Amino acid sequence: MPRGKPSPKLAITIDPTIHEKVLAAATREGVSISAWMTGAAREALQRRAGLAAIAEWEKEQGPFSAKEMTKARRIVRAQLRTARPVRRPA
């Protein structure tokens, strides 16, 4: 009997081109396909939550200025340059 909370299984159909890219990305990052897909889903959900939070803030406060957007883009680019993928065992 497995310990803890077993992970649910999910069967998906995926475009062959995307499938190859997912396999290559998981291999490159040294993680299992399941771990890679979980990470990709987590990132997509975080991005959606962030965009929803921004939309809510702009609804209440008004849109960000061009100056604020330029500064935000600069910060994100700097973070992306220094970000390193997390390697987890397969």
Tokens (6 digits) for 41: 């889903």
Percentage of the residues of the chain whose pLDDT score is greater than 70:
90
pLDDT of residue 2: 59
Is residue 90 pLDDT above 50, yes or no?
Answer: no
| Rounded distance between C-alpha atoms, residue 33 and residue 28, angstroms | 11
Q: Is residue 89 part of a domain?
A: no
Q: Is residue 29 part of a domain?
A: yes
Q: Is residue 52 part of a domain?
A: yes
Q: Is residue 42 part of a domain?
A: yes
State pTM to two decimals.
0.70
Q: Is residue 8 part of a domain?
A: no
Q: Is residue 65 part of a domain?
A: yes
Give the domain range for residue 22.
Answer: 16-82
| Rounded distance between C-alpha atoms, residue 42 and residue 50, angstroms | 12
Mean pLDDT of the chain: 90
Instruction: Give residue-wise pLDDT tens across range 33-52.
Output: 999 999 999 999 999 999 99
| DSSP tag of 89 | -
Q: Is residue 11 part of a domain?
A: no
How many structural domains compose the chain?
A: 1
Q: Is residue 87 part of a domain?
A: no
Mean pLDDT of 9-36: 95
